[in-house]
Chain A
Amino acid sequence: MADIIFPHQHILGIEGMGPDAISTILDLSESYVDLNRQRDKKRSDLRGRTVINVFFESSTRTRTSFELAGKRLGADVINIAVEASAINKGETLLDTAMTLNAMHPDVLVVRHPYSGAVQLISEKVECAVVNAGDGWHEHPTQALLDALTIRRRVGKLAGLNVAICGDVAHSRVARSNILLLHTMGAFVRIVAPPTLVPADAAKLGVDVYHDMAEGLKDADIVMMLRIQTERMRGSLFPSQREYFRYFGLDAEKLKAAKPDALIMHPGPMNRGIEIDSDVADDINRSVIPEQVEMGVAVRMACLDLLTRNVIANFDDDSSKGGAA
């Protein structure tokens, strides 16, 4: 696999990533899906490499997924949880970044509650940085694992109608998915109450619906988003009951979509608020557990590609007169 070209030093977002780079990650992920289903899952490709998961915002599944990905490739993985309140008190974000950098990690996996914070860290460190979610901005590995799930089930991404439903305004998952799906030639609609649609959403190239029956019409993929509990207390929508009535996915609303439409959710689900258990657990339609499985494979591919450090090698080669 030494001939794989991956022209990125970091994975900070889907923005700026072309279809070739996305396909490269997805193709490599496929091989790790197979590996993860074997009894012996351990590889040694990343032996001697250090991966630090730095989570400024609590997370169980994403952190575990990255941790497993690193360990299955043989890397040393360390988890650091930094409470956002602790940042405000003492060390600045860049001081934290410099401290970690001095420990010579090969990859930093960073989640942060503020948009742009992961990029800021990447500007200060010498290692590769993976964005594990920054504010409302991007969550690229989630979009990649969603794409892998769809591609394995449907066989393609181009030309599909994908409906992203729910709290798009505050969702980094939605932003990364919109960018990735457009890059790969899919059509994206968003379905949400107007208070949960971001400003100028149409300029992102999506169609906006406020009615599930219209928005799900002929959809190949129905992607539900999690409603953050803290949003339920504001004035964005009146109650969980009303939200579920109009925007929660149930068997009745799903009828508008194609008969074989896939149901997705990035988790963790609020059953009975944005999704009904009947559809979430429908083994023929729901690919929600599969998304979690694909997550480990995609993150293995990301860590693998970034630690190959193609760019650095390329620079070395070119400085030798392009002999390689």
Chain B
Amino acid sequence: MRRAFVNARLLDPASGLDQKGGLLVLGESIADIGPHIRPGQLAPDIEWVDCHGHCLAPGLVDMRTQFREPGEEHKETLDSISRAAAAGGITALVGLPNTRPVIDDVAVVEFVARRAREVKLVKIFVYGGVTKGLDGKQLVEMGLLREAGALAFTDGLHAVRNAQVMRNALSYAKAFDALIIQHPEDPDLADGGHMNEGELATRLGLAGIPTAAESVLLERDRRLVALTGGRYHAAHVSSAEGLAVIRRAKAEGLRMTADTAPPYFALNDLEVQGYRTFAKVSPPLRSEDDRLAVVEALQDGTIDVIASDHAPHDQESKRIPFAQAEPGMVGVETLLPLALELYHKGQLPLLDLLRKMTVAPAALLGLPLGTLGVGKPADLVLFDLDRPWRLDVKGGVGKSKNAPYDGRPVQGQVRMTVVDGRIVYQVPEN
């Protein structure tokens, strides 16, 4: 298979490339890239795709999703999340271990790998739990799970609560240079809470979660990272206070990184008004000041990665009283257009933005992905940077439709997604 993408705006954050040109794919890999790849220069047996000047970038690497298979296939399956991710320009995604059964054992890692091979759309990876049963007590077999393919370790939606367990996890993982990913929320301070603590929670009569729940745990973990020298990543950081801890840890040279997700820079806690359960996420949507702090942390590099934090839920998990509703929203299909808001508002240069969704997460997880380097897998996204449209979550590809974005005007749309040289998504012609 020889295919050339011509007449494109090539964007490669890894090399800083931003120029017009083309990209040649041989088999599953990138064979050549540059301005010299033009329709006229191609051998006659090369199939070519005219990009019409649109952006051709490495396919997005989404380091935080929940794919619900095995166990809750009525919410999402590896097949449905793969199709949804492909529609969102994502070529590789990593799932949390909070499936049923949970991923704390080699057998489940192998099951997911086998199912991913069967679906064979986008690249699917998993994390292992930090602890058996994700219950915060006994460490998983990190070495064996890593050999089986687990990229890093996290207890998913649960914070590792016990400081000694976290210390040991960070310390033991060093033997394999493995990354520990934390859900940074103190379970006691967050206990019983359903939304950001503050005026709206008071008005709605909902128990609040203070931002200190985030900063207290991050502060503890910062000291444990200093103590152990381990590699630590804070998932979906949501508050100014929490980000200050990460910023300080980085200044001290600690191996601490962070990601956030579109809800935390595209929405604030006012979204909960009217008890909208689609706006219930964990950690909760924060105040406008916190949202602005997240944008600032994306700008100054405190936040390394943007992930979708995709959390599919069925109606029965959301059309119930707010306190009972499951937290989380879907996000793989809306990741790119929501992230591009940062570019269109002039808050982040395009390459910096793409870096946080391509080579940055790939490097953190040790994946040879997220670049347009010659010889690398041909995982690509072609997108129209400027096209205005309205998000249509209900009309999405994924099985679940839980996100409060319907009708939101955005700019930028995925036109084609390529995995290992195969076209896995093409925008429907309209």
- Listed in ascending order, the chain A residues whose CB lies under 8 Å from chain B are 15, 92-94, 112, 114-117, 119-120, 134-138, 172, 175, 198-201, 203-204
Contacts and interface: CB of A to CB of B under 8 A. Distances in A.
A117 B203 CA distance: 15
Contact of A175 (B203, B320, B322): B203
Contact of A136 (B206, B321, B324): B206
Nearest to B194: A115
Given A92-B316, A199-B197, A117 B321 contact: yes
Interface of B is mostly: loop
Given A175-B203, A175-B205, A199-B208, 10 more contacts: A92-B319, A120-B320, A135-B206, A135-B321, A136-B205, A137-B205, A199-B210, A200-B202, A203-B199, A204-B202
A250 B322 CA distance: 39
B202 A116 contact: no
Q: Looking at B203, B206, B208, B210, which has the most chain A CB atoms within 10 Å of its CB?
A: B203
Interface in B250-294: 274-275
Q: Looking at A112, A114, A138, which has the most chain B CB atoms within 10 Å of its CB?
A: A114
Contacts, number: 67
B61 interface: no
Contacts of B320: 92-94, 120
B201 A120 contact: no
Interface in B184-221: 197-199, 201-208, 210
Interface of A is mostly: mixed
A70 B319 CA distance: 31
A154 B341 CA distance: 57
Closest 10 CB pairs of A and B: A137-B205, A116-B275, A136-B205, A114-B321, A115-B205, A200-B199, A117-B321, A198-B202, A203-B199, A114-B323
Interface in B330-386: none
Contacts of B316: 92
B209 to A, nearest CB: 10
Contacts of A15: 203
Nearest to A171: B205
Contacts of A175: 203, 205
A116 B204 contact: yes
A114 B322 contact: yes
B321 A93 contact: yes
Contacts of A201: 202
B200 to A, nearest CB: 9
Q: Looking at B202, B205, B316, B322, which has the most chain A CB atoms within 10 Å of its CB?
A: B205
Nearest to B323: A114
A227 to B, nearest CB: 17
A138 B199 contact: no
29 contacts: A92-B320, A93-B320, A93-B321, A94-B319, A94-B320, A112-B321, A115-B205, A115-B322, A115-B323, A116-B275, A116-B322, A117-B321, A119-B274, A119-B275, A120-B275, A120-B319, A120-B321, A135-B206, A137-B205, A138-B205, A172-B205, A175-B205, A199-B198, A199-B201, A199-B202, A200-B198, A203-B199, A203-B202, A204-B203
Contacts of B205: 115-116, 134-138, 172, 175
B197 A115 contact: no
Contacts of B321: 93, 112, 114-117, 120, 135
Nearest to A138: B205
A114 B324 contact: yes
Interface in B285-325: 316, 319-324
B130 to A, nearest CB: 29
B208 to A, nearest CB: 5
A197 to B, nearest CB: 9
A137 B202 CA distance: 8
B165 to A, nearest CB: 24
Contacts of A116: 204-206, 275, 321-323
A15 B275 CA distance: 14
